[in-house]
Amino acid sequence: MAALSQFCRIKWERARDFKRKGKYQEAERELKDALEEDPANFLLKSSLADLYIRQGRLIEARILAEEVLASDPRHPQALVVLGEIFSKETNLDEAINCFRHAFQKDSRPYVTLRIARTLRKMERYKEALEELDTVLLAQRENPSFLKEKALTLNRMGRRSEALEIYEKLRSLDPDDSFVLKEVFRLKGLGRSDERVIKELSSVVNIPSRKDDPQLHGFLGQKFKETGQVQEAAAEYRTASQLAPDNLYFLKQEGFCYYRLKNYSKALECLEEVFRKDPADFIVKGTLEKIYTTLGRLDDFLSLLEDTLQRHPHNVKLMGKIKKIKKLLDAKNELGN
């Protein structure tokens, strides 16, 4: 593959900066401009594919990645993109296989981080820690690796060690909202829910923290745990508005409305989540329960078919569609 021209290099660097700021449309425009000049460039194609993943456009991402891999089966960036797609489809064995192959040609930390993250999702925690430590031995203050290590330690129940890392991260970047939320959460394990809610409610009213989605989301979690579901929904709504790319907040808001039997609002939230992440079987199951309760299985089938068009490689969706069609056929036969 030829090196980037000066024009393409400038466009690629601008796209990278826009991506870091979450300005995906601007980043996409820069990459497409570069691809007009050099349409076969693997780096540009892989970068655009990665951008599509961040926007939930997995079909387009897969097409670009597979175009690159058809010409160069060991292209590391394209393998990482394909691994990310498999990860989002919860096909973790294929995901880690892609990341391992990418690492053979590109041993930079960003590949190692994806390997460790996938191992954590597979509950292979010891191996995940070993991967992380290979980088942390040389880069002791690498925030991405420290965060991943804290997440892994927390999953292992080693909460004091996780808290120690989060405290270190907080000293490195006091404005990191995720880290602050985790410090609050871990320290709050020994306190009453009422005390934690009171403290968090005060914190999110501070001008410097009122726009912090992580803290609003954590407050929503504490409200939900104490049965204050309406208040929880409101906090998750605020968090979702502040961080629209974070589907977790929208999903939790939908679950709150489901508990409140406000099915119209629950569907509004959970349908959006499902269209972007059909691998979430809890969301899918909740949607099926709502549509069944409302006697609208035909609408659920339409949702499934629409989502399959967006994610045609999702085999589980195909199976669910067949099942719902059989139920509807049986219902129609009884009606006749």
Domain boundaries, the chain: 1-17+25-51, 262-331
Q: Distance (Å, rounded) from C-alpha 177 to C-alpha 210?
A: 11
Q: Which two tokens stand for residue 316?
A: 């589980």
pLDDT digits (tens, 9 = 90+) for 103-124: 999 999 999 999 999 999 999 9
Global pTM reads 0.77
- With a cut of 80, say whether residue 42 has pLDDT above it: yes
- With a cut of 70, say whether residue 1 has pLDDT above it: no
Please provide the average confidence, as pLDDT, over all residues in the chain.
Answer: 93
Query: What's the CATH code, domain 262-331?
Result: 1.25.40
- With a cut of 70, say whether residue 2 has pLDDT above it: no
pLDDT of the residue at 175: 86
Across residues 238-252, what is the average pLDDT? Answer: 94
pLDDT digits (tens, 9 = 90+) for 201-210: 999 999 988 9
- With a cut of 70, say whether residue 335 has pLDDT above it: no
Q: Distance (Å, rounded) from C-alpha 179 to C-alpha 162?
A: 11
Q: Distance (Å, rounded) from C-alpha 171 to C-alpha 183?
A: 12
Angle, CA of 328, 259 and 266, to the nearest 5°? 60
- With a cut of 70, say whether residue 275 has pLDDT above it: yes
pLDDT of the residue at 14: 96
Among 208, 218, 212, 233, residue whose Cα is nearest residue 183: 218
- With a cut of 90, say whether residue 226 has pLDDT above it: yes
Angle, CA of 247, 250 and 253, to the nearest 5°? 150
